[in-house]
């Protein structure tokens, strides 16, 4: 499922008549959102049912656009990490033009990044050649700060050393390089032993006057709250987060 799919899906939702009184979100909209979010997270229907503490048949019904209780709507909402009431609070329906313009403005900044579990020295080498890094770590508390900091520190050090190795690649330097790769993978193993899935990918993110700028994308999520992560093939990144702040550069 690509990031463009949700926008196409919105266009297919039957339009309700204009309303001046607050109304709860229509079942078609809730069905679309539940299906889209679940698929983007690569959750099975059973996984959503477990997290939401509802039956599998309830998930199937809501995704078919059938009515379910407000309590179950709220449970599904919270299973995704949204605020309670997102699918049940009455609101005044906005115009079609307003909704489509808002979504188009939001989705145009999103880009899909192919990712894999970080397990090989080849992946580490490619990451170390990046110009910067963006770490996605939802639900990882401060107890994991040391691991994430160590991972980034080792990547920065390896990046500096790789720039030197491009000139002369002696046997000694090759061993040193592999030692750095091993140190990075050791941090990843420590995170995995603590129940975390670590994914990595590379995004071409041209900056002003720097057309070949590359960003290493690293995702670290708990297996308990993100069980679909090991099979995930893409993650969605907001390009606005990757812009270099040049305001202080003269």
- Residue 23 pairs with which residues in a beta bridge? 91
| Domain(s) of CATH 1.10.260.40: residues in the chain | 5-108
Q: Which of 236, 225, 216 is nearest to 197 (CA)?
A: 225
Q: How confident is the model at residue 96 (pLDDT cuts 50, 70, 90)?
A: low
Q: How distant, in Å, are the alpha carbons of 140, 148, 188, 198, 222 from that of 119?
A: 20, 16, 8, 9, 17
- Sequential DSSP letters for 147-166: HHHHHHHHHHHHHHHHHHHT
For 171-210, what is each residue's pLDDT tens digit?
Answer: 556 667 788 899 999 999 999 999 999 999 999 988 888 8
Q: What is the pLDDT of residues 16-30, one digit of tens each?
A: 455 567 788 888 888
Question: Is the whole-model pTM more than 0.85?
Answer: no
Fold of 5-108: 434 Repressor (Amino-terminal Domain) (1.10.260)
């Amino acid at each position: 499922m690509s990031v463009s799919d949700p926008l196409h899906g919105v266009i297919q939702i039957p339009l309700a008549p204009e309303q001046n009184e607050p109304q709860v979100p229509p079942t078609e909209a809730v069905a679309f959102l539940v299906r889209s979010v679940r698929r983007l997270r690569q959750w099975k229907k059973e996984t959503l049912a477990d997290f939401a503490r509802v039956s599998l048949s309830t998930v199937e019904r809501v995704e078919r656009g059938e009515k379910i209780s407000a309590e179950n709507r709220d449970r599904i909402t919270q299973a995704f990490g949204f605020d309670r009431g997102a699918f049940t609070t009455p609101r005044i329906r906005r115009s079609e033009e307003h909704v489509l313009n808002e979504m188009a403005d939001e989705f145009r900044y999103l880009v899909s990044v192919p990712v894999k579990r970080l397990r090989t020295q080849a992946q580490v080498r490619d990451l170390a050649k990046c110009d910067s890094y963006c770490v996605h770590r939802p639900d990882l508390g401060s107890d994991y700060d040391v691991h994430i900091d160590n991972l980034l520190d080792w990547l920065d050090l390896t990046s500096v050393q790789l720039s030197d190795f491009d000139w002369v690649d002696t046997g000694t330097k090759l061993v040193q390089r592999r030692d750095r790769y091993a140190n990075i993978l050791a941090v990843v193993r420590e995170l995995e032993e603590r129940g975390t899935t670590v994914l990595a990918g590379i995004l071409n993110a041209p900056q002003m006057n720097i057309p070949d700028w590359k960003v290493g994308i690293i995702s670290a999520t708990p297996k308990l709250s993100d069980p679909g992560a090991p099979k995930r093939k893409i993650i969605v990144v907001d390009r606005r987060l990757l812009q270099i702040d040049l305001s202080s550069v003269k």
